[in-house]
């Protein structure tokens, strides 16, 4: 009898595990009443700490806020870095990643991506008036970037004779540039714009060179949960179609901001 009770209990546990696994992220988020988003917290204007309020704010915070609002759940923000964002997602520590993450083919083996919600490309940030004008000028020199980024990979390909020094975050790479420890910082232009214009002396810095690569950002979601991914995609499209996306874009990248970047691309919209 005891044996059968044990088997029955094991079967019930298995059925529960299967049903919760099948329930998927969408149901899971609704059941817990919050969307946990992995975001950057030192990367203006995507995700950073507002000096006055001490809140984490930014373009990507507004994107995940819109998604949480549409789901009718609270939003919890968890800071991630370029290196930690994928592991934290695969370990289930965050439900979604909105952290300047390029939808790169190689990353498809670990996570799934939403449609593109931001478009940029990789360039270089250098001291104004210096000799560095392009990736080739970095041969034999040191360039700062972030661990776990496409930027460090692309830079090595663009100029194999440079040394890429990788930091946890881009502000740390910028500090190294200011201290003369590296000759340039390389990453997405939109991030470099944020770094340059959040400095006390933006005129000391120049963003130079051709685009080293195209960097389309996708929201990271767990693999093989198309119901959740579809929900995220359709919510992004709704954000664009209702004009909310453009409003949020103008707030962080519009003409009246210090990070002005014209909106020159269109979101993929399904009919």
- Which of 43, 39, 38 has the alpha carbon at shortest distance from 252? 43
State which residue, 183 or 188, has the beta carbon closest to ligand GLU.
188
State which residue, 29 or 155, has the beta carbon closest to ligand GLU.
155
B/e letters for 17-52, b = 16+ CB within 10 Å, e = fewer, are eeeeeeebbbeebeeeeebbbbbbbbbbbbbbeeee
Q: In the complex, what is the shortest distance from the CB of residue 136 to ligand GLU, in angstroms, rounded to a whole number?
A: 21
Shortest Cβ contact with ligand GLU: which residue?
149
State which residue, 84 or 187, has the beta carbon closest to ligand GLU.
187
State which residue, 71 or 187, has the beta carbon closest to ligand GLU.
187
| Other CB atoms within 10 A of residue 209 CB | 22
Q: In the complex, what is the shortest distance from the CB of residue 215 to ligand GLU, in angstroms, rounded to a whole number?
A: 5
Query: Element (H or E) spanning 163, and its range?
Result: strand 163-167
State which residue, 167 or 245, has the beta carbon closest to ligand GLU.
167
Q: In the complex, what is the shortest distance from the CB of residue 26 to ligand GLU, in angstroms, rounded to a whole number?
A: 25
Q: In the complex, what is the shortest distance from the CB of residue 58 to ligand GLU, in angstroms, rounded to a whole number?
A: 13
- Which of 202, 168, 204, 197 has the alpha carbon at shortest distance from 259? 197
Q: In the complex, what is the shortest distance from the CB of residue 154 to ligand GLU, in angstroms, rounded to a whole number?
A: 9
State which residue, 73 or 78, has the beta carbon closest to ligand GLU.
78
Query: How far is 163 from 32, CA to CA, in rounded Å?
Result: 46
Query: How far is 167 from 174, CA to CA, in rounded Å?
Result: 10
Pair 65, 57: CB distance under 8 Å: no
Residue with tokens 């767990």: 222
List interacting residues with ligand GLU (CB under 6 A).
82, 100-102, 146, 149-151, 187-188, 191, 215
Q: In the complex, what is the shortest distance from the CB of residue 33 to ligand GLU, in angstroms, rounded to a whole number?
A: 29
């Amino acid at each position: 009898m005891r044996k059968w009770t044990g088997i029955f209990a094991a079967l019930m546990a298995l059925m529960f595990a299967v049903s919760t696994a099948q329930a998927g992220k969408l149901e899971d988020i609704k059941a817990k009443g919050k969307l946990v988003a992995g975001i950057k917290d030192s990367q203006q204007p995507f995700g950073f700490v507002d000096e006055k309020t001490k809140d984490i704010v930014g373009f990507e915070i507004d994107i995940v806020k819109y998604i949480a609002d549409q789901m009718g759940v609270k939003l919890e923000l968890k800071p991630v870095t370029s290196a930690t964002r994928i592991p934290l997602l695969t370990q289930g520590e965050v439900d979604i990643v909105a952290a300047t993450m390029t939808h790169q083919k190689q990353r498809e083996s670990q996570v799934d991506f939403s449609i593109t919600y931001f478009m940029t490309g990789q360039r270089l940030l250098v001291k104004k008036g210096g000799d560095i004008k392009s990736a080739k000028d970095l041969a034999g020199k040191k360039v700062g970037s972030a661990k776990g980024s496409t930027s460090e990979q692309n830079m090595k390909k663009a100029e194999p004779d440079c040394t890429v020094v990788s930091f946890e975050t881009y502000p740390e790479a910028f500090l190294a540039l200011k201290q003369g420890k590296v000759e340039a910082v390389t990453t997405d232009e939109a991030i470099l714009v944020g770094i340059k214009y959040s400095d006390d002396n933006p005129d000391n810095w120049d963003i130079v060179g051709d685009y080293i690569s195209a960097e389309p950002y996708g929201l990271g979601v767990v693999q093989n949960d198309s119901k959740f991914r579809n929900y995220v995609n359709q919510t992004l499209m709704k954000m664009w179609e209702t004009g909310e996306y453009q409003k949020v874009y103008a707030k962080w990248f519009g003409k009246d901001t210090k990070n002005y970047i014209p909106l020159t691309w269109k979101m993929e919209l399904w009919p």
